[in-house]
Structure 1
Amino acid sequence: MSFTLDRRFFLTLAGAGAGAAALSACGGPSTTPGAAATTVADIDFSGVKPAASIDFWSNHPGKSQDVEKSIIEKFHAKYPDIKVNLVTAGANYEEIAQKFQTAQAAKSGLPSLVVLSDVWWFRYYLNESIIPLDSLVKQLDVKLDDFRTSLVDDYKYDGKQWALPYGRSTPLFYYNKDHFAAAGLPDRAPATWQEFAGWAPKLKAASGAQYAFMHPALAGYAGWTLQNNLWGEGGGWSKEWDITCDSAESVAALQAAQDSVYKDAWAGVSSKESADDFAAGLASATLSSTGSLIGILKSAKFNVGVGFLPGGSKVTSGVCPTGGAGLGIPSGVTKEEQLAAAMFLQFMTEPENTAAFSAATGYMPTRTSADMTAVLAKTPQIKIAMDQLAVTKVQDNARAFLPGADQEMAKAAAKILTQEADVKATMTELKATLEGIYTKDVKPKLKA
């Protein structure tokens, strides 16, 4: 598998090619094209009147329900003829994706606007379950050039804009400043995981916490955050389409993670949400989304520090993945609902509202003109998250574009970190699984 291909070119081919139905075999939503597949790119909204009521499906990323309600109230004040119904469509990205898939299959009960995560929205692009936003962007004069380029371009494929960034994040290194001080450690994140491994015994001895570090919950997080560990050792889930999870570098990175739990016994594995475990004082440090920042600051009874993700023995910078979600408009609802949804989407992502959303959650402000002065004065930790954007790295193709791969990575990580399985054997098995997905469901779409 030495085929290399630019990720944007791949998506252009995938969108134009046939055979999307095969992707459904790998878990997650079906990717069989829907009835609107041949016409969604040609929607004309001239003369359309916005619907009087729309449903906005959210999982309230970063515990954002209150700020979502507040923004909706402001929207109602500006557009009293359009009612936005905020629907809790799941507790996480996976649940909201499954609910969206169920509504698609039933061809009823679809939302007008929906939260789409980094590893799920691509399937909806493939089966054209979401519409391109270009005609709406033009009609409503949405200022795309004011969005942070790296964030808005994540949804720009086949020459079209398929979603707008919403709850965009990176992982952050969170640490208990009080524990670090008690252990005589510097008030900063470690530069490398090797440095933290040297600190861990001191933290356990001085802090009284159960663990020096809490690995994030594996479901939904393993494939994302472990890229940091893998990249730091020169490995990865993949390099382009070469699956590299069983390379010597990748195995070394995951062996070190396993040793932190079993051999050296300074780390635990969160069963649900490491941010909550950290805020409760169970561990002196953890990795979690920037979207967890405000919740941690509110819940923790200690001084919270944040920093860039640690590097490894081979690579010390550029080891942080981006992630999070955008907002898309389904193809299976009326033009009137689509227009009303686009008006609300535009309002949600206005500079003032993106600043309010960031202040309430810790997610990245998606607009460059958003005035973050008051936010940063109150929560200066957000500046660390914003600064880390400059040293992020595009996620591995294997996680972002192989359907069902994220779940397979989580299963493999669970074997390694909760069952003490042999790392090399587990990664060899995972490689075979990922190559099978690539060979069957992706490679047929690629042109040499």
Structure 2
Amino acid sequence: MTLHLDRRHFLGLAGVTASAAALAACGGPSTTGGGQATSQAADIDFNGVKPAAKIDFWSSHPGQSQDVEKSLIEKFQAKNPGISVNLVTAGANYEEIAQKFQTAQAAKSGLPAVVVLSDVWWFRYYTNGSIIPVDSLTKQLDMKMDDFQQSLINDYEYDGKQWAVPYGRSTPLFYYNKDHFAAAGLPDRAPKTWDEFGQWAPKLKAASGAQYAYIYPALAGYAGWTLQNMLWGWGGGWSKEWDIICDSTESVAALQWAQDSIYKDKWAGVSSKEAADDFSAGLTSATIASTGSLLGILKSAKFNVGVGFLPGGPKAATNVCPTGGAGLGIPSGISKEEQLAAGMFLDFVTQPESTAEFSAATGYMPTRKSADMKAVLAKTPQIQTAVDQLAVTKVQDNARVFLPGADQEMAKAAAKILTQQGDVKSTMTELKATLEGIYTKDVKPKLKA
């Protein structure tokens, strides 16, 4: 199944229906009904509109960011005394905030003016017509859109319109225990390839006393995201555009290598909940975790922490790191006055000094090119690695971020392979059929020819 369409060329997907089981399992929002298709929505005219006096900001506080969010709100209100921003904890994670937002949409009441949108959930709001394009706001407020990190702002551009702005943005980083590496006589750096790490792993396990040389991130939340790194490194992927390739020779080889690291070579494991916590506790010598976990790891680890780019594979040594994290969007079902105030808030919290403050507090990367990171880097120089890696990031595979419920299906398949030692080829063949079913039923009919 091959359909070569640019990611900006969507028609509205109002009424998209993912497999009910997949959506119910993750507790996320339904994608049925709920609004008019928005891909051809006209820019909203805010001329003569006065901003609302009070707005709600719904957040799940990514990267334990509640304190810095409060700080940014206070500074925004000081600069804009006519606008009050109420910070609402709308969920403990992206799934919970998605459910709350969908419930408010269905009730047509209690909507926020600004909402956190994760990489795999925000597109569903777009398909349901639940968010507005922010282009007219960015123009009216003279937001310097070309100052955003290009790979981060582009994630929210569809049909030539901008649907959100980057906020708590992250990439995976390779974290390693410098003390363990030194005890094993290894270089003080991340491995350049997974094969190189495979050569290091037995030495690490023998010298460190840790249970694992490497631990894979918890599958429920991270498999679809982080395993793109290995799939790309071996020349495969979840998909190439809309061609589902998870069962390709290259993709199967990548996941077979991962399975062998656990069952055959016995130096790797799979985190049951949070790999960053396992790493900080010394359970493993290395792992992959979000840049948003950086400050937490540095604070809790009792050893010297190293960070590096993600390893490459036999087919691709670079450009194997996916973008990720969350952005900020504005609902369609609120007044123009609220939308304008929301736009002003978006403008403020994404200013260079604001994003530098947010990065310093969380470890998330600065979203603006002009952000002055000198003070932040003096205190936490490891953040520079995340910034540098931006130059070699890739937009995620369509199958993960655009197919409703696909992320959960990928997690199930990864669990079968990595925790149950299931046959890799047959598992990936089954996953391909599932993903193609979602695509054929829910997405393909709504794409532009």
Shift of 1:248: 1.5
Please give the per-residue CA displacement for 1:221-249, whole angstroms capped at 9, x wherever unaligned: 10010001111111111122111111121
Shift of 1:23: 4.5
Please give the per-residue CA displacement for 1:416-441, whole angstroms capped at 9, x wherever unaligned: 11111111111111011001111111
Code of the residue aligned with 2:195 in structure 1: it is Q
Shift of 1:208: 1.6
CA distance in 2, matches of 1:416, 1:37: 38
Please give the per-residue CA displacement for 1:98-122, whole angstroms capped at 9, x wherever unaligned: 2211111122221110010111111
In the other structure, the counterpart of 2:303 is 302
CA distance in 2, matches of 1:148, 1:129: 26
Code of the residue aligned with 2:31 in structure 1: it is T
Shift of 1:390: 1.0
In the other structure, the counterpart of 2:423 is 422
Which blocks of at least 5 consecutive residues in structure 2 are unaligned? none
In the other structure, the counterpart of 2:16 is 21
Code of the residue aligned with 2:122 in structure 1: it is W
CA distance in 1, matches of 2:70, 2:382: 25
| TM-score with structure 1 setting the length | 0.95
2:133 counterpart SS class: coil
In the other structure, the counterpart of 1:125 is 126
CA distance in 2, matches of 1:36, 1:303: 52
Shift of 1:445: 2.2
Code of the residue aligned with 2:413 in structure 1: it is A
1:87 counterpart SS class: strand
Code of the residue aligned with 1:389 in structure 2: it is L
2:307 counterpart SS class: strand
Matched, 1:369 2:370: yes
In the other structure, the counterpart of 1:217 is 218
Cα distance 1:50–1:404, how it changes in 2: closer, same or farther (>3 A)? same
Shift of 1:149: 2.0
2:221 counterpart SS class: coil
In the other structure, the counterpart of 2:49 is 48
Contact 2:172 2:289 in 1 (8 A): yes
Code of the residue aligned with 1:388 in structure 2: it is Q
CA distance in 2, matches of 1:144, 1:281: 42
Matched, 1:3 2:3: yes
In the other structure, the counterpart of 1:408 is 409
Contact 1:261 1:267 in 2 (8 A): yes
Shift of 1:44: 2.4
Shift of 1:205: 1.3
Code of the residue aligned with 2:101 in structure 1: it is F
Contact 2:34 2:129 in 1 (8 A): yes
Shift of 1:2: 2.6
Matched, 1:235 2:236: yes
CA distance in 2, matches of 1:347, 1:3: 40
Contact 1:33 1:126 in 2 (8 A): no
Shift of 1:220: 2.1
1:357 counterpart SS class: helix
1:7 counterpart SS class: coil
In the other structure, the counterpart of 1:67 is 68
In the other structure, the counterpart of 1:393 is 394
Aligned residues: 443
Code of the residue aligned with 2:91 in structure 1: it is G
| Identity among equivalent pairs (%) | 81
Shift of 1:19: 5.7
CA distance in 2, matches of 1:290, 1:115: 18
| TM-score with structure 2 setting the length | 0.95
Structure 1 segments of 4+ aligned residues over 4 angstroms from their partners: 23-26, 35-40
Which blocks of at least 5 consecutive residues in structure 1 are unaligned? none
Please give the per-residue CA displacement for 1:185-207, whole angstroms capped at 9, x wherever unaligned: 11000111111111111111111
Shift of 1:43: 2.6
CA distance in 2, matches of 1:348, 1:35: 28
CA distance in 2, matches of 1:102, 1:205: 52
CA distance in 2, matches of 1:236, 1:21: 24
1:281 counterpart SS class: coil
Map 1:55-204 to 2 at 5 A: 55-204=56-205
- Cα root mean square deviation, aligned: 1.7
Contact 2:15 2:34 in 1 (8 A): no
1:331 counterpart SS class: coil
CA distance in 1, matches of 2:436, 2:362: 37
Shift of 1:46: 2.3
